Structure 1
Amino acid sequence: MTLPDPPTPLPDERRAQVVELLRRRGVVRVNELASELDVSVITIRRDIALLSSQGLIRRVRGGAVLQNGPVAETLGHGEPEEIAVIADAGQPQPTIGMVVPSLDYYWPDVIRGVREAAAASGAKIVLRGATYQAADERRQLARLVETGEVDGLLVAPTTTGDDGEELVRWLQGTGVPVVLIERAAEVGDYREAMESVVSDHVFGAAMAVRHLAALGHRRIGLITTRQSPTSVHVRRGWRQACEELGLDGAVPDVDTVDQRDPGWPKALDDVLDACVSSRTTALLVHSDPEAISLVERCRERGIRVPGDLALVTYDDEVADLCDPPLTAVRPPKAAIGRAAFGMLAGRLADPDPERPAHRVIIEPRLIVRFSSS
């Protein structure tokens, strides 16, 4: 006769089991608890966070110890080798999972900044690339979280639309410390901010407009790509600066496909036609590939850059390779990576659930080249 499976313990019963296991063993790793109690690593992380907030246990990397128990004292006075085995199970430095939407444009410098900061502290980075799709991002993140091998996450997720909002809620519920990179999001009934480090793209776009206005341009248009999460911030900064400076509003304001799309050549000609008909003399373009393609089309149509149309591009990934070299707004990518790692390291060092959320905003720079002179 096959015996029925034992009933699944209630949450309070499971947490009591966690405390009892700690009383018997002193230290238990997250993976071990998940396996013994037949629940997910995420569930155990949530239990540990709650028990820690109640003062019943103390969290350490990879697991938990009883608050003020004998092992907690050992952690302060034992030999270094014993501390490494007991507190960190042979992994004295954290392992950080990092998921970004691209590994070949914009994000390599952000990754470099993270790796520089991680190397200085001895932390390990596990990098994954995604595709600007919430489902793909969640798949990559779930693989990192469910193994229980990462202590925290650095991630640039999709945050808009139903899928993006669901992804943000899922991230918040993993029980793993998370810092958003170049993204911001709010969660919960009161729209509490998640921890984040972002470039001030609104400021960067406004800086480009002020630069062009200082050169005498009164009609400054905008081209953005609708696939980019940055476009909404660039547009906001452009509009604010145009309004503050009292610039002419009858100019192209286009959110279009990117230069790889079959519809790009027609969209590009439509923009240039609009520039000619509205007597627009300057454009802010997001991003570099679209700006370079625009310059090439201007040359084919006999439109001089910057004589007839001055250009500023946003990103400064390959702007200096254009002919002529393009004036560009350069987001502080490596600094973003370093700051994001530092914020996450601070969160790991202080797992207090009452610790307030931190948000860091870093300003871009304007690099002046020939296309706006």
Structure 2
Amino acid sequence: MSEARGPLQVARRQQLLAALQRDGSLRISDLTEALGAAAVTIRRDIAQLAAEGLVRRVHGGVALITPDDATEEMPATGLDSLSGRTLGMLVPSLDYYWPDVARGAEEAARELDMRVVLRGSSYETEDELPQLTRLVEKMGVDGLIIAPRLDAPTAGRTIDWLADTGIPVVLLERTAVAGQHEAVLESVVSDHALGAAMAVRHLISLGHRKVGLVLAGNSPHRAHLRRGWLEASAAYGLDPDATVQALLPDARSPDRDAALDDVLDRCQATGTTALLVHADPEAVALVQHCEERHLAVPGDLSVVAYDDEVAGLFTPPLTAVRPPRRSIGRAAVRLVADRLADPDRPAHRVVISPALRIRESTAPPRA
């Protein structure tokens, strides 16, 4: 939680200002040693003093504002001051979905003469604070771009810590609020509900009247996908209870094959002729099970995958909804850059639309 404004905090900031009066400018690493406080605490102090117009932030540290500072002509916080800044990026996987997000972030950072320090976590990580702390306190990054685990037991503590770092923070494919007053953290997300609705509308346009939904049980986006599926189904008068809704266990689960067979059994029992499946591995596995049971895709069952990582490489190439991964990374870097340039701007939440790639796994249902 945010530090209360008490005697220790006031004394530390007075010491910081006294050190700046003596030296003019200081690095954060120098201040942590001199004041005996963590880097995240020093950054918080600097953010407050900068907001009060007493200091100006410089790369890796802080400087005292003097009458000679030509702030009107060349603002220290303007875009021209971004050169050389470093952004820390933490994502839950480096081998699926997130590499394209990282590439987009690196592209945008290069355009601004900034650099990205990329680190990988995992969907099983219980506590991401150690990695985040290293990025902020040891590597001295100027901003953070992160896709945290919001279902972890430490999620609340992590979000509060992020809100208190004193540096710009942008969440990737996540949204969150922090503190007693639920301050909004900036974020960039795909409109996954829209993506699901696009898939349903495509299948309905082909003549399907029973469109089911199959989701990876560990997907952080399953609530959004289900909402989009439900809304699109209702808009076209489809009954979601008359078709298939299923959560699949992890690929390592011994129950995976049985769950896939159960989905196909339920499709046949309900007359379901089309499925939206998240994510690509689940869609591929389902189509392979169709082959084993001599069910034709798209003849007996049309399938739309969600993610489009490998859907287009499969045979038959799968129709897929493609989230704007590279654009997500680019937009996140721009949000950090804009926050560095204008610390007082309102919090922004950016929503980017996915795209539908129509391939060979969808067709009109058999008469």
Rounded Cα–Cα distance in structure 2 between residues aligned with 1:208 and 1:144: 39
Deviation, 1:202, is 0.6
What is the identity, as a one-letter code, of the residue corresponding to 1:262? P
What is the identity, as a one-letter code, of the residue corresponding to 1:38? G
Give runs of aligned pairs for residues 247-262 of structure 1, distance below 5 A. 247-249=238-240, 250-262=242-254
Counterpart in 2 of 1:44? 42
Deviation, 1:226, is 1.7
Structure 2: gaps spanning 5 or more residues: 1-6
Counterpart in 1 of 2:96? 105
Give runs of aligned pairs for residues 120-269 of structure 1, distance below 5 A. 120-160=111-151, 162-249=153-240, 250-269=242-261
Q: Deviations over 1:10-37 (max 9, x none)?
A: 1111100111111111111111111111
Residue identity over aligned pairs, in percent, reads 52
Rounded Cα–Cα distance in structure 2 between residues aligned with 1:127 and 1:234: 28
Deviation, 1:56, is 1.8
> Structure 1 length normalisation: TM-score?
0.90
Is 1:345 aligned with 2:346?
A: no
Q: Deviations over 1:23-74 (max 9, x none)?
A: 111111111111111110011011111111222222222222222355x359
Rounded Cα–Cα distance in structure 2 between residues aligned with 1:367 and 1:236: 21
Counterpart in 2 of 1:34? 32
Rounded Cα–Cα distance in structure 2 between residues aligned with 1:278 and 1:56: 69
Counterpart in 1 of 2:299? 307
Rounded Cα–Cα distance in structure 1 between residues aligned with 2:208 and 2:252: 30
1:189–1:108 CA distance, 2 compared to 1 (3 A)? same
Deviation, 1:260, is 3.2
What is the identity, as a one-letter code, of the residue corresponding to 1:267? A
Q: Secondary structure at the match of 1:24?
A: helix
1:127–1:322 CA distance, 2 compared to 1 (3 A)? same
Rounded Cα–Cα distance in structure 2 between residues aligned with 1:260 and 1:367: 29
Checking the alignment, whether the CA contact within 8 Å between 2:126 and 2:153 is kept in structure 1 is no
Checking the alignment, whether the CA contact within 8 Å between 1:52 and 1:59 is kept in structure 2 is yes
Deviation, 1:244, is 1.2
Structure 1: gaps spanning 5 or more residues: 1-8, 78-82
Rounded Cα–Cα distance in structure 1 between residues aligned with 2:204 and 2:318: 17
Residue in structure 2 matching 1:293, options 285, 289, 314: 285
Is 1:364 aligned with 2:354?
A: yes
Checking the alignment, whether the CA contact within 8 Å between 1:114 and 1:334 is kept in structure 2 is yes
Deviation, 1:256, is 2.0
Rounded Cα–Cα distance in structure 1 between residues aligned with 2:260 and 2:126: 31
What is the identity, as a one-letter code, of the residue corresponding to 1:271? V
Rounded Cα–Cα distance in structure 2 between residues aligned with 1:268 and 1:74: 63
1:74–1:323 CA distance, 2 compared to 1 (3 A)? closer
Larger helix proportion of the pair: 1
Structure 1 moving runs of 4+ over 4 Å = 73-77
What is the identity, as a one-letter code, of the residue corresponding to 1:314? Y
Deviation, 1:75, is 11
Rounded Cα–Cα distance in structure 1 between residues aligned with 2:24 and 2:272: 71
What is the identity, as a one-letter code, of the residue corresponding to 1:195? E
Rounded Cα–Cα distance in structure 2 between residues aligned with 1:33 and 1:135: 31
Is 1:282 aligned with 2:287?
A: no
Checking the alignment, whether the CA contact within 8 Å between 1:22 and 1:65 is kept in structure 2 is yes
Counterpart in 2 of 1:328? 320
Q: Secondary structure at the match of 2:148?
A: coil
What is the identity, as a one-letter code, of the residue corresponding to 1:184? T
Deviation, 1:76, is 7.2
Q: Secondary structure at the match of 1:372?
A: coil
Counterpart in 2 of 1:3? none
**Could you say which structure has the greater relative contact order, defined with CA pairs below 8 angstroms and 6 or more residues apart?**
2
Rounded Cα–Cα distance in structure 2 between residues aligned with 1:38 and 1:76: 36
Rounded Cα–Cα distance in structure 2 between residues aligned with 1:76 and 1:29: 25
